[in-house]
Amino acid sequence: MSVFFWASEAASAAGEHGAEGAAHGAESGGFPPFEAALFSHQLFWFAIAFGGLFYLMSKKVLPNVAQTLEKRKNTIETDLAGARAAGEAAEAARAGHEKLLAEARAKARGSIDDVRAQSAAAMAAETQKSEADVAKTIATAETKIRAMRDEAMANVRATAADLAVEIAQKIGGVSVSKAEAEKAVDAGRSAA
């Protein structure tokens, strides 16, 4: 109940003060800032407040703001200069990197060309050596073949002469010397 009692007393006190304020306003003529009799006092205090604020702003606040703005401007300019320098350094590094890559590619191409040339030279030398070995082998084989053919031909002549002697004896009953049979074989070979 005490809470209810206290709230009701506060409401009645507010009502009494509100009624007094309304009566005072009606007697004085309205809202005080708009009363013509108070303009000179208001202008005086406005000039003092404006002068005080102007002095405070111009001597204390604005120099601090200007100093902060100057520091900020210097910081931004320093950061921009650093960024430009870093950008130029990055561009120089990129150009150097591209140059190194181009040199490495050229060196690799040169190495590949050298290896190809060496391989081609080695293959040509090996081919030439193989061809020489083959030619030598062929020449040796041809020599052996000629010798074998000559030997075979010599054996054929001797065999043909022996056969001629035997045939003449068995078929014709004639005795022929080996020299005569060889002459007959040679004559038959030259006629063929």
Q: What is the pLDDT of residues 101-151, one digit of tens each?
A: 999 999 999 999 999 999 999 999 999 999 999 999 999 989 989 888 888
Q: What is this structure's pTM?
A: 0.37
Cα–Cα nearest to 153, from 186, 115, 118: 186
Nearest 10 degrees: Cα torsion 102, 104, 105, 107: 120
Confidence category of residue 170, pLDDT binned at 50, 70, 90: confident
User: Looking up tokens 């007393």, which residue turns up?
Assistant: 9
| Helices 62-167 and 178-191, axial angle in degrees (round to 10) | 130
In this predicted model, what pLDDT tens digit does every residue of 121-130 receive, in sequence order? 999 999 999 9
**Burial classification of residue 176, based on how many CB atoms lie within 10 Å of its CB (0-12 exposed, 13-18 middle, 19 or more buried):** middle
Cα–Cα nearest to 56, from 150, 48, 116, 11: 48
- Long-range pairs of 186-190 with CB within 8 A, sequence gap ≥ 24: 186/157, 189/157
